[in-house]
Structure 1
């Protein structure tokens, strides 16, 4: 660690699913960077981030940080060897639902840092599902050797406990994106749901992804949205969180909505670009959010936008539960008329929803800073030791 005036500089590698232009994961990175900066300033630590990225040039340009290729062994080794510490997180990194290579990669990065005697920190990880039991020791080993462990839900913590990680070492915190601010120029671009004329259609944000190979989940979502749009005028604004995949899923549903929208209703595809704060701004303009992507729901909570979640993974249910909510349906079952009725109730009772849930949302916002605070404090102690 280098000293700059009265401030201590700390070069810290950040490992995660970055550079793939997935809005949720990019929002996690932006949130971590901002939280580290804020907490570091309060404690006299200046963080110099180095991000492991699938597209280092894009990541460096987007965030103004150093970035190196995440799958290039020499670059990875050089970055970790020259750093003071490594952060792994956040997001759903330690799971095998997306394949058998994910857990070995992320635990391998942690293990490399630990072999090089660099302190490692687990930042608001979502752990699981882990269906291949032989991976449990990979996770438990790097966790036990990390200086700080935080997970984004109680279920992740319980899974680590079953793997042998002491409960006393695990802190349950919100997803980092709960603390993501709107872009600096948000006011000039109409942040927040605008005041509407009595005859203006409310905006319903829609975040969908393809999950079932037969598309039956998207067909049911189209039926539900058609029922809503036939029952009252609404402006369905599709929000692709992961391009191009989510844009294709959105267009699939929009095709199935043709000729089924009632008078005054419309459907459109948003193009907010790659900056996660721009997507957060898009969500802030919605009166209601129907979301399948976890971070679409987190964005909505961040901006106090009433939401209806469609569950395809336990992480959706776990997040909704923290707000006292349950999913409106799953990828296996979604009743169109029940969806339309509940969506109408939320559109008519937006203020009541905010009043009921604002306390829980504010607690999550405040708690989202906890990992950055803990990491900054632990590293400051290392500096001063």
Structure 2
């Protein structure tokens, strides 16, 4: 359907943890933008996004969209006034584990839109943890006044319900990144049979004493001594993950089994390039949530290392449980499980493929709902 006039264009502000070069959050943004574009085409309208970013110039260059600085109130207010609504999400925005300022900021952006009479849409967010109970009324207030609320797991829905958000107004959907495509013109190319299989490794800092990284290194060593593998470290959040990966690789230096090697990927800032990196792995050890989501997206067999309930919740949705946690990881058990995945990837895909395909299909639901509601609001 053609776009005949400006009435078919909807300007929508998108709020999230964008512009910080975190591959997972940038993948969320890319997924939302692509889903909105695709759904707009289906419904005969065009969505014109305005992204709130810590680095608007970088965001504009990366995605080809309008962007304003998320910490400049005048710019945010101007963008909001000229918009048709606000999308908040995805990612873990309404939580206070990283900072006491996080919930007031993201809820405040939602409240500003509501005060200006703009509809607000919550896009596949992960809610919590919320350790400061005095934040609950603020979250309840903006959620109850939102036109559409979707969360990425049942635990988030239960937490909102416990805060007083009506359960029938909360839709549980997959993380948007389940629907992220590979870069145009590219294709997954898993390791060739005659070379050591590629084991993707995505780690993040968690324990202050580094004991969790020590256990991860021991597990990877145990695998390398069972069979030759090519360990490919994938830094999802630079520079932190890159530095951490280098330190773990240093622990492995001179100790890997015969024929095994370790290397550091450098896919750059584009989340689809990181997705391509994951797609070319034969299996993945993932600690970051979006590393596991990327693997599921591309049907790469995975083992999850849990540091947060969101890891367990995602794995559960595809019929898995963590191989270990930041407190406990048995190296030999990990090696057993990794060898089993490398020996029978087809069996893993057969076992989990139906659930993965369902999540990919359902990942488009928020975009469908939001575009439909925007059209309905304008037609009234």
* TM-score (normalizing by structure 2): 0.98
Q: Is 1:218 the equivalent of 2:213?
A: yes
- Counterpart secondary structure, 2:171: strand
Say if 2:98 is the partner of 1:98.
yes
Q: CA deviation at 1:44?
A: 1.4
Aligned counterpart, 1:52: 52
Q: Deviations over 1:158-217 (max 9, x none)?
A: 000000000000000000000000000213xxx2314422xx100000000111111111
Q: Which residue of 2 aligns with 1:281?
A: 276
Secondary structure of the corresponding residue to residue 250 of structure 1:
helix
Q: Does the 8 Å contact 2:191/2:197 carry over to 1? A: no
Cα distance in 2, alignment partners of residues 37 and 243 from structure 1: 28
Of 5-14 and 292-301, the range deviating more from structure 2: 5-14
Distance 1:112 1:314, change over 3 A: same
Residues 7 and 46 in structure 1, CA contact (< 8 A), matched pair in contact too = no
Q: Name the structure 1 match of 2:323.
A: 328
Distance between the aligned counterparts of 1:192 and 1:24, measured in 2?
A: 22
Q: What residue in structure 2 maps to residue 11 of structure 1?
A: 11
In the TM superposition, what whole-angstrom CA distance separates every residue of 1:270-299 from its partner, at most 9, and x where no partner exists? 000000000000000000000000000000
8 A Cα contact 2:285 2:305, kept in partner: yes
In the alignment, the residues of structure 2 paired with residue 162 and residue 257 of structure 1 have an alpha-carbon distance, to the nearest angstrom, of 46
Map of 2:83 onto structure 1: 83
**How much has 1:380 moved relative to structure 2?**
1.0
Moved over 6 A (4+): none
SS in 2 for 1:366: helix
Residue 156 of structure 1 corresponds to which residue in structure 2?
A: 156
Distance 2:48 2:189 in 1: 33
Question: Cα offset for 1:260?
Answer: 1.3
The corresponding residue for 2:182 is 182
Which residue of structure 2 aligns with residue 115 of structure 1?
A: 115
Cα distance in structure 2, aligned partners of 1:54 and 1:306: 34
TM-superposed CA distance for 1:248, in Å, is 0.8
On the 8 A contact 2:191/2:198 being kept in 1, the answer is no
- 1:253 matched to which residue of 2? 248
Report the equivalent of 1:73: 73
Long gaps (5+) in structure 2: none
Partner of 1:196: 193
Is 2:145 the counterpart of 1:145?
Answer: yes
Q: Does 1:38 align with 2:38?
A: yes
Partners of 1:382 and 1:195 lie apart in 2 by 53
TM-score between the two structures when normalised by the length of structure 1: 0.97
Cα RMSD after superposing both structures: 1.0
String of CA shifts for 1:104-163, please: whole Å, max 9, x gaps: 000000000000000000000000000000000110000000000000000000000000
Task: Give aligned pairs, total.
Answer: 378
Separation in structure 2 between the aligned mates of residue 369 and residue 362 of structure 1, nearest angstrom: 12
